[in-house]
Amino acid sequence: MKYILCFLVAFAATDSYCQEENLLKGLNDDKPQKEYVFNAFKSSRVIMSHSMEMLQPGVLDFRILHRFGNVNQGISEFFGLDQATIRLGLDYGISSNLTVGIGRGSFKKEIDGFIKYRAIQQATGPKSLPFSLVVVGGSTIIGAPWADPLRKNYFSSRLGYYGQAIVGRKLSENLTLQVSPTYLHRNFVETAPDPNDLYAAGFGGRIKLSKRVSLNVDYYYVINQNDARDLHNPLSLGLDIETGGHVFQLHFTNAIGMNERVFLTETTNDWAKGDIQFGFNISRAFQLKKKKG
């Protein structure tokens, strides 16, 4: 009887302890958990410019950017389809918050590269912030022959640099907005009134139309452009279409170039005059590194 009583007391104590532990665990489970927000954009680009979205670690993104000529050239140029500029690029996700990339475009035979770092990721729950902050730094090198080969030219004159901060928020499952204050420096400018240091404010947005289709807007207001030249602010409108590992971006734009130096400093096309180009971007992601877990 004594041993039975000891066993019952020990069993009751153990059962009580387990119930208390389960109760405490249940209370901890009820506490709000920090959850990060993903898929603000379908791609790491809005259209022309970087988006607040990052590549996952170990993902190589092969990007093909294709831009035709102006549609207002008429049937003789097949509404711009007889002309084209292209950029090929490779972006790689080193970590969830760090991406690097390099590309080469046919316009002025430019090579460009960038480093993109996410300092803050939008999240919900305790100790979270309701927006994302991404910083991007990049450089461009013009590879085309000099217009005046008899002049003394320097390699440094081919270089340009830019930096920008992207502040964005996924407001809902159907709407994302971001702003991108941008600084651009050119070592060489065509005329004396052209500023070596250029300042611009970028605006990007995404409206989800369906599970795999979204409407994107990409615009830059250049603050201190040389007013003597016939230059305009770049504006692009397009559709993102996701098909598994591919993202197709079909768009209309007045921007000729496909990197920051070109579309901020050489956009001579005017939407009001019909100087619009049709283009598309193709993104193909390859998982080169196994996912953890």
Provide the 10 A C-beta neighbour count for residue 46.
Answer: 31
Predicted confidence band at 150 (pLDDT cuts at 50, 70, 90)?
confident
Tell me if 291 sits within 8 A of 96, measured CB to CB: no
Label residues 67-80 b or e (16+ Cβ within 10 Å = b). bbbbbebeeeeeeb
Cα angle, residue 188 at apex, residues 261 and 164 outer, rounded to 5°: 35
- Its domain, for residue 176, covers 44-145+155-286
Residues 157-189 pLDDT 10s: 999 999 999 999 999 999 999 999 999 999 998
- Residue 184 is predicted with a pLDDT of 98
C-alpha to C-alpha distance for 26 and 110, rounded to whole angstroms? 59
Say which CATH number the domain at 140 has. Answer: 2.40.160.40
Within a domain: 33: no
> Confidence band (pLDDT; 50, 70, 90) for 19?
low
Q: Does 17 reside within a domain?
A: no
pLDDT at 36 over 90: yes
**pTM of structure:** 0.86
Is the CB of residue 240 less than 8 Å from the CB of residue 93?
A: no
- Residue 29, in any domain of the structure: no
- Residue 242 domain flag: yes
Residue 6 within a domain:
no
Among 162, 178, 187, smallest CA distance to 260 is for: 162
Residue 12 lies in a domain: no
Q: What is the pLDDT of residues 74-124, one digit of tens each?
A: 888 888 888 889 999 999 999 999 999 999 999 999 999 999 999 999 999
| Number of domains comprising the chain | 1
